[in-house]
């Protein structure tokens, strides 16, 4: 079973014009969403600290940081852009694996395009291939791999970054096999880090390490030819179960990026049905916190496992608290990045309502589903069943929704005019002669 080589050959050989228009369209939507997130997240303290730490070691000003004025060597720029894109936990989600697929791949490619000229069409194609690689590898090991405690966006993302970068570098089949091998042997990142700055460090490092893998392979640096399937390779070492057919079957026929989704709310995606339901009831009944005796949520088991923090202390922890999220949904009627600032998490009004939220896990509830029951002070009981949260595959974000999200993220950083130009470049990526226009347009 030649899993790694089969995948490598596909990435090397896939014709640029072989991807259906509907798939390319979703790839563009993914890119728009991610660039907005990266610009929006670029001023976060995690980025400031990481930039301060790596700056003394950085090389020449090859690649820009989205949303900022600094330029670093390509590898460090990829790290920083990868952190920025995920730091709000607002980026895209491949629901089958909970991978946030754009970050590791896009953070690698956006900078690479500044160093090695490439058309927007070629960049988008490499992006689609990189996402294909990481999500197929994710499909092969999910959920066993995730259940152990691996942060799959980092662990699978590094393969995607290597594949996409290797494609733009024009690696041959053997080099691509090595690139995947060098990437895989750097695969890392614990879910234990959720709620700390290391969570966004993972896609940043995945982008950077995948790029390094591609550059090493380009020079002829060798790895195993069987990183995915060998008994001591990725799928056996890092998962208790695996399905290699998920990697090799239907390559070039089905595209995982077509299944990508985008968050309307700036927090862990499993909380979204609860927020959606709370906002619906709030808006319909004009609810205020003082009206509410108790909020009862019946949620999927994963919700409490991933986002069960009852007393978050800082914004990052709030993103992993279904309790905080339900409270701000009622109080603010939204759950954007602002609702996960440290000040909001510590707001006594939010805390008081948060402490009246009760969440119960039920195996009968799907991951994008929720039942909300609000008991009012006057004795009334309001109920709402969210079958599929907004932002799910069944109720996808519209292009207009993505535009509004982009504006909300990018305008405070770049100003309205530059944000609008950047948004337009992203939507029109397939017409760009030089894909570096995106990185240039995203500079502050």
- Taking CB under 8 A as the binding criterion, the range among 226-234, 252-260, 324-332, 428-436 that sits at the site for a copy of itself is 226-234
- Rounded CA-CA distance 87/298 in Å is 28
In this structure, the number of other CB atoms found within 10 A of the CB of residue 431 comes to: 10
C-alpha 48, offset from chain centre: 20
- Report helix, strand or coil for 336: coil
- Rounded CA-CA distance 279/329 in Å is 5
Contact with a copy of itself (CB under 8 A) among 3, 31, 58, 437: 58
Whole-number CA gyration radius for the chain: 21
Map tokens 């993220």 to a residue: 409
Closest distance to a copy of itself from the beta carbon of 373 (Å): 31
Identify which of residues 192 and 355 has a Cβ nearer to a copy of itself in the complex: 192
Contact with a copy of itself (CB under 8 A) among 23, 95, 230, 376: 230
Closest distance to a copy of itself from the beta carbon of 302 (Å): 14
Q: Which helix (H) or strand (E) holds 27?
A: helix 21-41
- For residues 87 and 44, is the Cβ–Cβ distance under 8 A? yes
- Rounded CA-CA distance 274/326 in Å is 6
Residues 193-222, one symbol each (x = binds a copy of itself by CB under 8 A, - = not), give x-xxxx--xx--x------x--xx-xxxxx
The candidate with the shortest Cα–Cα distance to 69, out of 421, 413, 409, 406, is 413
- For residues 194 and 306, is the Cβ–Cβ distance under 8 A? yes
Residues 144-183, one symbol each (x = binds a copy of itself by CB under 8 A, - = not), give ----xxxx-----------------------------xx-
245 contact partners, CB below 8 Å, separation of at least 6: none
Identify which of residues 24 and 242 has a Cβ nearer to a copy of itself in the complex: 242
Closest distance to a copy of itself from the beta carbon of 222 (Å): 5
- Rounded CA-CA distance 223/186 in Å is 12
270 binds a copy of itself (CB under 8 A): no
Site size toward a copy of itself (CB under 8 A) is: 57
364 binds a copy of itself (CB under 8 A): no
Contact with a copy of itself (CB under 8 A) among 191, 332, 373, 388: 191
Identify which of residues 53 and 352 has a Cβ nearer to a copy of itself in the complex: 53
- Taking CB under 8 A as the binding criterion, the range among 84-92, 142-150, 241-249, 331-339 that sits at the site for a copy of itself is 142-150
76 binds a copy of itself (CB under 8 A): yes
Identify which of residues 232 and 378 has a Cβ nearer to a copy of itself in the complex: 232
Closest distance to a copy of itself from the beta carbon of 386 (Å): 28
343 binds a copy of itself (CB under 8 A): no
**Per-residue tokens: 108:** 């690698």
- For residues 236 and 70, is the Cβ–Cβ distance under 8 A? no
Closest distance to a copy of itself from the beta carbon of 38 (Å): 18
C-alpha 305, offset from chain centre: 19
99 binds a copy of itself (CB under 8 A): no
- Rounded CA-CA distance 319/268 in Å is 6
- Taking CB under 8 A as the binding criterion, the range among 70-78, 250-258, 295-303, 422-430 that sits at the site for a copy of itself is 70-78
- Rounded CA-CA distance 70/72 in Å is 7
Identify which of residues 288 and 310 has a Cβ nearer to a copy of itself in the complex: 310
1 binds a copy of itself (CB under 8 A): no
Closest distance to a copy of itself from the beta carbon of 229 (Å): 10
Burial 63-78 (b: 16+ CB within 10 A, else e): bbbbbbebbbbbbbbb
61 binds a copy of itself (CB under 8 A): no
100 binds a copy of itself (CB under 8 A): no
280 binds a copy of itself (CB under 8 A): no
DSSP 339: G
- Rounded CA-CA distance 135/103 in Å is 12
The number of CA neighbours under 13 Å toward the Cβ of 168 is: 34
129 binds a copy of itself (CB under 8 A): no
Identify which of residues 75 and 302 has a Cβ nearer to a copy of itself in the complex: 75
Identify which of residues 235 and 422 has a Cβ nearer to a copy of itself in the complex: 235
DSSP letter for each residue of 90-142: -SEEETTTTB--HHHHHHHHHHHHHHS---HHHHHHHHHHHHHHHHHHHHHHT
Contact with a copy of itself (CB under 8 A) among 42, 93, 139, 223: 223
187 binds a copy of itself (CB under 8 A): yes
The candidate with the shortest Cα–Cα distance to 262, out of 272, 252, 274, 247, is 272
What residues are paired with 319 via a beta bridge? none
Chain contacts with a copy of itself (rule: CB under 8 A): 46, 49-50, 52-54, 56-59, 62, 73-76, 148-151, 181-182, 184-193, 195-198, 201-202, 205, 212, 215-216, 218-224, 226-227, 230-234, 236-237
């Amino acid at each position: 079973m030649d899993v790694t080589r089969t995948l490598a050959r596909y990435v090397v050989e896939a014709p640029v014009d072989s991807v259906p228009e509907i798939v390319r369209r979703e790839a563009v939507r993914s890119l728009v969403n991610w660039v907005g997130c990266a610009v929006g997240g670029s001023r976060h303290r995690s980025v400031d600290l990481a930039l301060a730490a790596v700056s003394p070691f950085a090389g020449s000003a090859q690649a820009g940081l989205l949303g900022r004025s600094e330029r670093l060597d390509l590898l460090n720029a990829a790290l920083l852009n990868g952190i920025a894109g995920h730091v709000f936990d607002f980026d895209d989600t491949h629901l089958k694996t909970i991978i946030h697929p754009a970050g590791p791949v896009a953070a690698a490619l956006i900078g690479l395009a500044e160093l090695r000229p490439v058309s927007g069409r070629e960049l988008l194609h490499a992006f689609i291939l990189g996402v294909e690689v990481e999500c197929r590898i994710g499909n092969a090991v999910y959920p066993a791999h995730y259940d152990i405690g691996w942060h799959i966006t980092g662990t699978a993302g590094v393969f995607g970054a290597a594949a996409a970068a290797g494609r733009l570098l024009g690696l041959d089949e053997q080099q691509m096999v090595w690139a995947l091998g060098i990437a895989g042997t750097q695969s890392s990142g614990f879910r234990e880090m959720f709620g700390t700055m290391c969570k966004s460090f993972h896609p940043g490092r995945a982008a950077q390490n995948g790029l390094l893998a591609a550059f090493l392979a380009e020079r002829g640096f060798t790895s195993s030819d069987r990183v995915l399937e060998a008994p001591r390779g990725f799928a056996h070492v890092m998962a208790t179960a695996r399905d290699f057919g998920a990697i090799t079957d239907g390559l070039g026929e089905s595209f995982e990026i077509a299944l990508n989704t985008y968050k309307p709310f700036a927090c862990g995606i499993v909380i979204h049905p609860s927020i959606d339901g709370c906002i619906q009831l709030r808006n319909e009944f004009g609810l205020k916190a003082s009206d509410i005796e108790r909020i009862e949520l019946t949620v999927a088991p994963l919700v409490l496992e991933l986002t069960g923090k009852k007393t978050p202390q800082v914004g990052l922890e709030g993103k992993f608290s279904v309790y905080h999220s339900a409270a701000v949904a009622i109080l603010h009627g939204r759950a954007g990045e602002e609702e996960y600032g440290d000040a909001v998490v510590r707001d006594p009004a939010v805390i008081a309502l948060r402490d009246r939220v009760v969440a119960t896990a039920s195996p009968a509830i799907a991951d994008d589903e929720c039942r909300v029951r609000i008991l009012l002070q006057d004795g009334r009981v309001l109920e709402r069943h969210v079958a599929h949260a907004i932002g799910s595959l069944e109720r996808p974000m519209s292009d207009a929704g993505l535009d509004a999200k982009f504006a909300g993220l990018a305008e405070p950083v770049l100003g309205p005019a530059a944000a609008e130009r950047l948004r337009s470049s992203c939507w029109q990526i397939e017409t760009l002669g030089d894909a570096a226009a995106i990185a240039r347009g995203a500079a502050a």
